[in-house]
Chains A and B, each alone.
Chain A
Amino acid sequence: MTDTVAREETGAAQKWSGRNVPRKEDERLLRGQGSFVENIQYQHMGYVHFVRSPYAHAHIKGIDVSLAEQHPSVICTMAGDEIEELLQPFFQIAPEPGAEIRDYPLAVGKARFVGEPVVAVVAKTREAARDAADLVEVEYEPLEVVVDGQRALEDDAPVLHEDAGVNVTWQGVYDYGDIDSALERADHVVEIDELHFHRFTSTPIETNGAVVDYDAGSGVWTMHCNNQLPAVSLFWIASALGVPFSRVQLISKDIGGAFGNKINSYAYLTLLAALSRKARRPVKWTEWRSEQIASGNHSNERTFRDIKVPVMNDGTILGYQVRAIDDAGAFPRYEPLGGVIWAQVLPGCYRFENARVDFSQVVTNKAPVSPNRGYSRLQHLWMVERVVDIVASELGFDPVEVRKKNYVAEFPHETPNGCIYDSGDYHRCLDIALDLIDYRSWLGRRDEARAEGKLIGVGIGSTLDSGTNNFGQSRLVNPNMPFSGNNEAANVKIDLDGNIVVTLGSVPQGQSHATTAAQVVADVLGVAPDDVTVLIGSDMQRNVYSGFSGTIASQFAVTGLSAAIGAAERLRDDIRALAAAVLGGEEDEVVVADGVAMIGEDEDRSIPLAGLAGMIHFSTAEIPPGFENVSLNRTYVYRPPFEVPDLETKTGNLTLTYATQIHACVVEVDPETGAVQILDYAAVDDSGTLINPQIVEGQVHGATAHGIGAVLTEELHYDEDGQLVSMNFYDYEAATALDVPPLKTDSIESPSPFTPTGAKGMGEGGGAPLHAVCSAIQDALRQHGGGVVTDSHNPSERVYRLLHEPENSRAGIRVGNGHDRV
């Protein structure tokens, strides 16, 4: 399928990093020997099934569990009134009034979205739990529903959370440069009434699940789960349970996919903790697919209103002004962080100097959102790219040239809000992408095809994957948040038998953490990756971890690997010092290579690492004086160089690295049906220094498939009653291999000056295809006088309407003179 063009060589001197070392994970996974939640079994384990609300918004008038509890296999049940007594509401990130929202893992008094858990049933078998759940009787009183973010802002809209009193969870204005002046002096002002970014989700092969065991003696809960952000999850789980963090131990081994939407599983884990304690036994819950799609955490839906874009005659875009309304669903479970995360990429790939974003986030009667496939930046970057394309289209600029005119060209580049774009070459990436699809040729073929009644369009998507968060940005939405910076931990040791063993604080979900960690550790310690054992997964009872341990926000290549390198370097220092003392030499003369520490090249003065380990672990009387504290066991916590953002000006460096994705695609639109077929597709990435190019390319493919699925087939559609009508794979069409065209990929490497390896975080580059396809569809329609693409989801019926009712979308676009418009 893949037509991979040779990667540009950078002449990296490292031994194992930069090479396509085969994945350590493959053999056991391909042999079916992975360690997933479903593999965990305990004797006398209880199985959990949830009774979920069929209403989007309803008072719960009464719950009768008597019939269910008479079921011979039922161990216990739990409903909202009991959970309210057992737990504290979840910790809220939002300031007032969002902070007043009382969020529990079971509906308390009121159901606020279809699929919200109302009652939990624990039984001796999974089937019995499901059967008994059907015996639970819940009396509902339906309430008026709000499913539209803009409607949620209106004064007479139904309020979801009476404690908060309003549906707005957060509102703030970001204002940089001088957009008013820019609009006034611009030669043109392009106005766009509305752009809409739709709601979708990711559908990991392994749904959410957990086995939670409460040990009454120690008061410790052991949670075998697939949560991807365990350390931060403790804030929610332990505080809801009212216990110290040390009494909650999360273990995430193999995870069958997590794209952000396994961060918020803390709600289920907390509930399972309460159930395990009540049932006096381990309890297991495995999410059904329909549950996962309905309530397994969606992506943020965002509407962009009243966009104004000042443009000069030469194609220079001076910035933009926009009002953004973000729909977070019924509960802000990681929100309102989405109200600031987008600001990491405020100007997209461009040199815009002025921007004003009036951002509101609201709750609606839909499933809660969570980070998903490029959290919050995806929506914003799509808006920026739409703006650029619409400007080009309306003012008659070449979409390639207008991009090149406005792309950031020099690095490091500081954006108007103080973010530092570390490195890159967007122009070169675009040229490569266009060459890969033979752009000029397609422009000619497009015109020929039009004569034959075919609609062909060429589109570009240029986005950034900002990686390694500065959690200090949380203070821009709530100044009282205790977070700033970032960290990750790793441990490298020489075990009792001389083997090198690595444990990581991060949680792998398919990014090949074990392989790449082995590569960088092998480079430091002068061994081969096969000589390095990386223990599987994240285990709070075994692995080291730090406050932000986990795998989110495109950070492992920076935080996780830097921690591993730091630990390995400290271990190497110990080895050198010890070897020098044992062998009789100077520390700086010791060479560590091929599993041996040697003075220079003198083989007679060498000792295997296993020999040093034997001394430290088993022959302590031989340890040279002064080395009593050496353990050959080193932990390192990597902390990226961040400062707390300026809360007054809302400026600061919000992320450490900026990987680039420049995609180009060609589509054909069927004028009879609106169906879109991708004819050619190219993805060019710049992820800085590549640790393992093949693994990076695999993630490029995955992100591209996600983006193509989102733009063409994946939509979570709610009807006016708040019923999700795409709750299964019949109606929710996740992209399959058959939906993704052959991809032409290439990459350049612009090492990040801010990271130890030059690598940048990547893997969340799904925004580029979302826009490249939108752009190509619009180009195809434009040849036919069609409408403007204003939605991020473009199934055939929507494209058909754009083609045959172009005036509807065109009515929302206006072009004027700057002086006239302001």
Chain B
Amino acid sequence: MKIGGRTQLNAPRTEVWETLTDPRKVTPLLPGGEVVEEENGETWRARLGVPTNLGTSTFDFTFTLLEQRPTEYVRVYGHGYGSQNIVDLTAELHLSEEGEETQIRWEGDVRLGGVLASLGQRSLLYVLQQQIENVLRALEAQQSAEAPAQ
């Protein structure tokens, strides 16, 4: 299942980049996310509570940073297992500056197994798109909260 989109965040690119590539910063932004174990800078395990149209399912994910060009591009692979479902995803994020803001173009390839797969990729597609938007908006809100008062 291919997904993708484009979002503009009201935050500097370097700060967005740091958050997106730091497991301890990005994981809490994911739904129900908590870092379980960081193996090294490129692989970490996380537990997520993923909302689907069946309710929220807990998944144990292993994320691996496959490729990165600082502040411009990152490619991440994630494998999740939970509630007898599997999720395999590869995500690519392209960051560019738009004035003081950051534009993110993202593409993903998601493969589902188990009951989730049967839920109709068509309905999950919308849920996933929405979740990614939510994560990026959360990142923006976090940056905004951390920014020094003007």
Contacts and interface: CB of A to CB of B under 8 A. Distances in A.
A114 B114 contact: yes
Contact of A725 (B58, B81, B84, B121): B121
A728 B121 CA distance: 12
B84 A294 contact: no
B86 A54 contact: yes
Interface residues of B, number: 18
Interface string B65-84: 00000000000000001111
Contacts, number: 53
Contacts of B114: 52, 54, 114, 723
B120 A114 contact: no
B118 A294 contact: yes
A134 B82 contact: yes
B84 A54 contact: yes
Interface majority SS on A: helix, strand, loop or mixed? Answer: loop
A719 B112 CA distance: 11
A721 B113 CA distance: 9
Interface in A30-51: 51
Contacts of A725: 117-118, 120-121
Contacts of A133: 84
Interface majority SS on B: helix, strand, loop or mixed? Answer: mixed
Contacts of B111: 721
B117 A730 contact: no
Given A55-B113, A114-B113, A724 B118 contact: yes
Interface residues of A, number: 20
Contacts of B123: 730
A726 B120 CA distance: 7
A725 B120 CA distance: 6
Nearest to A721: B111
Interface in A714-730: 719, 721, 723-728, 730
A730 B120 contact: yes
Nearest to B117: A723
A290 B115 contact: yes
B143 interface: no
B113 A134 contact: no
B120 A54 contact: no
Nearest to A51: B84
A719 B88 CA distance: 15
B120 A731 contact: yes
Interface string B102-131: 000000000111110111110100000000
Given A55-B113, A723-B112, A728 B83 contact: no
A730 B118 CA distance: 9
Contacts of A726: 118
Nearest to A133: B84
B85 interface: yes
B84 A134 contact: yes
Pick the 6 closest A-B CB pairs, nearest first: A727-B118, A54-B114, A54-B113, A723-B117, A54-B86, A731-B120
15 contacts: A54-B86, A54-B115, A54-B117, A114-B114, A134-B84, A290-B115, A290-B118, A293-B118, A294-B118, A723-B117, A725-B120, A725-B121, A727-B117, A727-B118, A727-B119
